[in-house]
Amino acid sequence: MELPSFPPSFPPSLLTRRLALPLSATPLLRLGNQYSRDLRAERESEMSDSGGAPWWVVVTGASQGFGAAICTELAPLLPPGSRVLGLARSQQGLATTAAAVTKANPAITFSPVVMDLATAKAMDYEATLKDHLGTGQSTPPGQALLFHNAGSLGTVKYLREMDDATRLSTYFDLNISSVILLNAAFMRLISTLSGKVIVKVINVSSLCALEPFKSWGLYCTGKAGRDMLFKVLAVEDPGVRVLNYAPGPLDTGMQVHARTMTQDDDIRKTFTSMKEEGKLLSCQSSVKKLLQFLEKDEFKSGDHVDFFEV
């Protein structure tokens, strides 16, 4: 995919212009009932191809924001018997997501698992996947989806002011290492299953994977690193469909952090203006677009795609 050519230093005016595209400028976006009908019809056709077998879905950061929206928007589309595993630290947030998922589709199971991804070990991921999805002896799912959604902005100070090695390690433990470990455990489990399983791995990325934002050095580095990890996965495992999806500016807790903590005045004011001017997206609208894009399945594995470009 051709990358957009932005100047090396990303002026807030350009950021605002780029992120302010109206939803109507994206013809593929079909919201509401029409979207649901179309997607459901396509899904039913795909399900009939695979015999309507239940799916396995893993979502990190399922307690709030974009991760919770992935769970609740996907739930009504899943075949009966599907299993959704949601990981996060907040028990209460996961319970809220669990209730919404069950309401949306009582025929599937949602497993809320409290886990700090910054400290979890490989064996924790292996055990959790086996406990809540299945083992090599289980009936294989029709599809297995892994959404690497959890993430943090971290310290939003200029690079010249970074002085805490422990914070840096913790940042990359969550935003890079946990992704590698969970992904590896998931791939190993899938490789033990008999029969053909459609596997899709989605990394929730950001414009920051491509563009430098002043005082967001950790976040930009983490997102760029994650994108490359999944490009490598795409070439290592051509049978797996891999997507780096930048969901657009979302009205979530992460945006509150961006508006209140960002050291760089221009970046902070840009995000404050976007909130005040109603330019932040709802998680639901971005998830709908992601699910539709996954459904069409026309991307090159490993691509980075942006909400405003699909």
Ligand X SMILES: NC(=O)c1ccc[n+]([C@@H]2O[C@H](COP(=O)([O-])OP(=O)(O)OC[C@H]3O[C@@H](n4cnc5c(N)ncnc54)[C@H](OP(=O)(O)O)[C@@H]3O)[C@@H](O)[C@H]2O)c1
Residue in 105, 149, 244, 301 binding ligand X, rule: CB under 6 A: 149
The H or E element that residue 306 is part of is strand 303-306
Site string for ligand X, 14-53 (x = CB under 6 A): ----------------------------------------
Spatial strand order of the sheet with 198-204 comes to: 109-114, 83-88, 56-60, 143-148, 198-204, 241-246, 303-306
Measured from the CB of residue 73, what is the shortest distance to ligand X in angstroms? Answer: 13
Looking at 54, 140, 217, 247, which residue binds ligand X (CB under 6 A)?
Answer: 247
Q: At what angle do helices 12-19 and 265-276 cross, to 10 degrees?
A: 30
Contact pattern for ligand X over residues 188 through 227, marking x by CB under 6 A: ----------------x-x---------------------
Which residue in the set 88, 234, 240, 274 belongs to the binding site for ligand X (CB under 6 A)?
A: 88
Residue that is written with structure tokens 């690193």 in the block: 225
Q: SS3 for 239?
A: coil
Among the listed residues 12, 54, 61, 302, the single contact to ligand X using CB under 6 A: 61
Query: Residue with the closest Cβ to ligand X?
Result: 65
Per CB under 6 A, 150 contacts ligand X = yes
Residue 142 near residue 189 (C-beta atoms within 8 A): no
Applying CB under 6 A, does 279 fall inside the site for ligand X? no
Of 138 and 152, which CB lies nearer to ligand X in the complex structure? 152
What is the residue-wise DSSP string for 145-209? EEEE--------S-GGG---HHHHHHHHIIIIIHHHHHHHHHHHHHHT--S--EEEEEEE--GGG
Closest of 238, 120, 261 to residue 179, by C-alpha: 120
Q: How many chain residues touch ligand X (CB under 6 A)?
A: 28
Indicate the residue among 193 and 207 with the shorter CB distance to ligand X. 207
What does the binding site for ligand X look like in residue numbers (CB under 6 A)?
Answer: 61, 63-67, 88-90, 93, 116-118, 149-152, 174, 204, 206, 246-247, 249-250, 252-255
